[in-house]
Amino acid sequence: MIWLVLVSQIVLPLGLLLWLALAPAHSLMGYAMQVAGVGAFLLAFALVAQWAVVPWWLPRLYAGLFVLAILVHVLRGHLSGLAVLPSGVGGWASITASFVLLGLGAWYGPAAVAGRVLPPVPVVDIANPFGPGTYLVGSGGSREIVNAHLRTLDPEMDRYRPWRGQSYAVDFFGLTNWGTRAAGLRPADPAAYAIFGADLHAPCAGEVMATEDHMPDFQVPDQDTVNRLGNHVLLRCGDAVIVFAHMRQGSVAVSPSQNVTLGTRLGEVGNSGASTEPHLHIHAQRAAAEGDPPISGTPLALRIDGRFLVRNERLRGRDRFEGELSGDRPGQAR
């Protein structure tokens, strides 16, 4: 819900910063806890939350305001002469609130940081598939807290088995000049989203295994939960399969059994399939067993231009596609 995003990503951080700036604790212990609690919470929230509805750079603004508030307190001598321990109910209540914030930050922050570490599975290196533009990772990483796709790794959930191959997928949004994913908070028209219609290119040389091009692009937030991939391309590169999902109707420019080279145009990003708003879903997997759903193969980790991309990281598209990645051939799992 958009209102929840606005409250949690604008009202809550600004409220905490105002509390720190305008109502600093009146004891050294209280102030230290207040700074630690607000800082830890804002840092963890910056890593865990998806910054796409509001500008991606807001956490950096909050960090600047956080440092500014502390500097003002120091320069104005707020810390001079403070008692070590708080006195009164208000002082201890402030410490309690700060302790809760610190606990939340200490719990979620390290989990989000751990999501930046490659998972213990083979890794596929590919080139950047995007044409010109700047793109934001909505879901990506090796922990579920930053990558919701990982829930399909759960062996106890039979309903996830047909989609197991997507467990280390990366979802991308496009970015406008203002740093948001769309012109508006949640416009219904998919064309209002920065990524809609963005060009996609083969990130490795290989053979097209399967395509779909005739499914409609939905108005936001409608979706097709049956044909989950929507318009798509499955590209075999070496011993890995790269899956591009939610492509634009009528844009797929390749055909099954076609051989492609690095940079061959595949199509455009759309809003087809199980997509509540325009984005690119890309993942790597082993080929599914014959007769099994196409994205049920063993999931593989994905590095794009040498980067294991995690939520809120940005990727700049290419103006031209030339040559191959250094080292191993793109698409080889290792």
pLDDT at site 285: 98
> How far separated are the first and last CA of the chain, in Å rounded?
40
**Strands 123-126 and 299-304, sheet pairing:** parallel
CA-to-CA separations, 223 to 58, 107, 131, 230, in angstroms, rounded? 29, 34, 26, 9
Average pLDDT, integer, range 72-90:
91
Average pLDDT over all residues of the chain? 95
Model-level pTM? 0.92
Domain regions of the chain by residue span: 2-114, 123-316
DSSP 131: -
Per-residue pLDDT, averaged over 171-197, amounts to 98
Quickly tell me which residue has 């191993």 as its tokens. Answer: 328
**Which tokens in the block code for residue 90?**
């208000």
Per DSSP, the three-state class of 249 is: coil
User: Stretch 47-68: mean pLDDT, rounded?
Assistant: 98
Q: Are 309 and 140 in contact (CB under 8 A)?
A: yes
**What CA–CA distance (Å, rounded) separates 273 from 190?**
13
Is the pLDDT at 271 greater than 70? The verdict is yes
| Residue 290, pLDDT above cutoff 50 | yes
Confidence of residue 15 (pLDDT cuts 50, 70, 90): very high
pLDDT surpasses 80 at 227: yes
Q: Is 210 helix (H, G, I), strand (E, B) or coil?
A: strand
Q: How far is CA 111 from the centre of its chain?
A: 15
Nearest-angstrom CA–CA distance, 231 and 245: 6
Q: Give the 3-state DSSP-derived string for 282-296, with helices as H, strands as E and coil as C.
A: EEEECCCCCCCCCCC
Mean pLDDT computed over 290-302: 96
pLDDT the model gives residue 333: 67
pLDDT band at 326 (very low <50, low <70, confident <90, very high): very low
Fold that domain 123-316 belongs to in CATH: Glucose Permease (Domain IIA) (2.70.70)
C-alpha distances in angstroms, 28 versus 51, 95, 102, 189, 235? 34, 11, 16, 53, 60
* Residue 81 pLDDT level (bands cut at 50, 70, 90): confident
- Give per-residue pLDDT as tens, 37-57: 999 999 999 999 999 999 999
Instruction: Return the number of other C-beta atoms located less than 10 Å from residue 182's C-beta.
Output: 25
261-287: average pLDDT:
98
As a whole number of angstroms, the distance between CA 198 and CA 230 comes to 16
Peptide bond into 162 cis (omega under 30): no
Handedness of CA 139, 140, 143, 146 (dihedral sign): negative
How confident is the model at residue 328, as a pLDDT?
A: 47
State yes or no: pLDDT of 3 exceeds 80: yes
Looking at this protein, which amino acid is placed at residue 190?
P
Residues 107-129 have a mean pLDDT of: 98
Tell me the pLDDT tens digit for each residue of 136-175.
999 999 999 999 999 999 888 899 999 999 999 999 999 9
- Give 99-102 contacts, CB < 8 A, sequence gap 24+: 99/33, 99/37, 100/37, 101/16, 101/37, 101/38, 101/40, 101/41, 102/33, 102/36, 102/37, 102/40, 102/41
- Model confidence at 88, pLDDT cuts 50, 70, 90, reads confident
Q: How far apart are CA 246 and CA 139, in angstroms?
A: 15
Checking 214-217 for CB contacts under 8 A at 24+ apart, the result is 214/249, 214/250, 215/249, 215/272, 215/273, 216/249, 216/272, 217/190, 217/248, 217/249, 217/270, 217/271, 217/272, 217/278
